Chains A and B, each alone.
Chain A
Amino acid sequence: MMLELHGVGFDYGPLRVIDAIDLRVERGELVVCVGPSGCGKSTLLALLAGHLRPTRGKIERNGSSRTIYQDGGLYPWLTVRENIALGAARDTKKVGEWLELTRLTEFADHYPHQLSGGMRQRVELSRALAAETDLLLMDEPFSALDYQTRNRMRKELVATLAERPRTVVFVTHDIEEAVQIGDRVIVLSPRPATVRRELALPAGRYRQPAAPGVAEAEQTITEELGL
Chain B
Amino acid sequence: MPRVVLPLVTGLLLLAAWWIASAAGAFPPGTVPSPPTVALAFREELANGRLVADTFASLYRVAWGYLVAVVLAVPLGLVVGRHARTRAALLPWINFFRSLSPIAWIPFAIIWFGIGDPPAIFIIFIATLFQIALAAAGAAASVPSVYYRVAEDLGLGGAAVAFRVTLPAIMPQLVTALRVAIGVAWMVVVAAEMIAVQSGLGYLIVDARNGLRMDLVVCGMITIGAIGIGLDALFARLARIPSVRWGFER
Residues of A within 8 A of B (CB): 46, 49-51, 64-67, 69, 72-73, 75-78, 86-87, 111-113, 131
Q: Which of chain A's residues has its CB closest to B248's CB?
A: A113
From DSSP, what is the main secondary structure of chain B's interface residues?
Answer: helix
Any A CB within 8 A of the CB of B107: no
Closest 4 CB pairs of A and B: A77-B168, A76-B246, A77-B243, A113-B250
Contact across chains for B153 and A65 when beta carbons are under 8 A apart? yes
Question: How many pairs, one residue from A and one from B, have CB atoms within 8 Å of each other in the complex?
Answer: 48
Which residues does chain B contribute within 8 Å of A72, judged by CB atoms?
Answer: 144, 146
Which of A49, A67, A75 is in CB contact (< 8 Å) with B168?
A75
Other-chain residue from B146, B149, B169, B246 in contact with A112 (beta carbon distance below 8 A): B246
- Contact of A73 with B171 in the complex, beta carbons under 8 Å: no
User: Does B44 count as interface, using CB distance less than 8 angstroms?
Assistant: no
Chain B nearest Cβ from A100, distance in angstroms: 22
Question: Shortest CB–CB separation between residue A73 and chain B, in angstroms?
Answer: 5
Assess whether A49 is in contact with B149, with CB atoms less than 8 Å apart. Answer: yes
Give, as a whole number of angstroms, the nearest-CB distance from B107 to chain A: 44
Nearest-CB distance from A70 to chain B (Å)?
A: 9
A77 touches B152 (CB 8 A): no
Residues of B within 8 A of A113 (CB): 246, 249-250
Known: A75-B165, A75-B168, A87-B154. A67 touches B246 (CB 8 A): no
Within the complex, what minimum Cβ distance (angstroms) separates B237 from chain A? 17
Q: Which residues of B contact A65 (CB under 8 A)?
A: 153
Binding site for A on B (CB under 8 A): 144, 146-147, 149-150, 152-154, 165, 168-169, 171, 242-247, 249-250
A86 touches B250 (CB 8 A): no
Q: Tell me whether A77 and B249 are in contact in the complex, defined as CB-CB below 8 angstroms, given that A67-B149, A72-B146 are known contacts.
A: no
Q: Tell me if A73 and B246 are in contact (CB < 8 A).
A: no
Decide if B150 touches A67 in the complex (CB within 8 Å). yes
A77–B169 CB distance below 8 A: yes
Contacts of A112 in B (CB 8 A): 246
A67 to B145, CA, bound (A): 13
Least distance between A216 CB and chain B CB atoms (Å):
37
In the bound complex, residues from chain A placing their C-beta under 8 Å from that of B149 are 46, 49, 51, 67, 69, 73
Q: A113–B171 Cα gap in the complex (Å)?
A: 16
A69 to B165, CA, bound (A): 17
Cα distance A46–B148 in the bound complex, in angstroms: 12
Cα–Cα distance between A72 and B246 once the two chains are bound (Å): 13
Cβ-neighbour of A111 out of B150, B153, B154, B246 (below 8 A)? B246
Q: Closest CB-CB distance, B176 to chain A, in whole Å?
A: 15
Identify A77's interface contact among B144, B150, B246, CB under 8 A: B246
Among A50, A66, A67, A76, the residue within 8 A (CB) of B250 is: A76
Q: Once the chains bind, are A75 and B250 in contact (CB under 8 Å)?
A: no
CB-based nearest B residue for A66: B153
Residues of A within 8 A of B153 (CB): 49, 64-67, 131
- Nearest CB in chain B to that of A124: its residue: B150
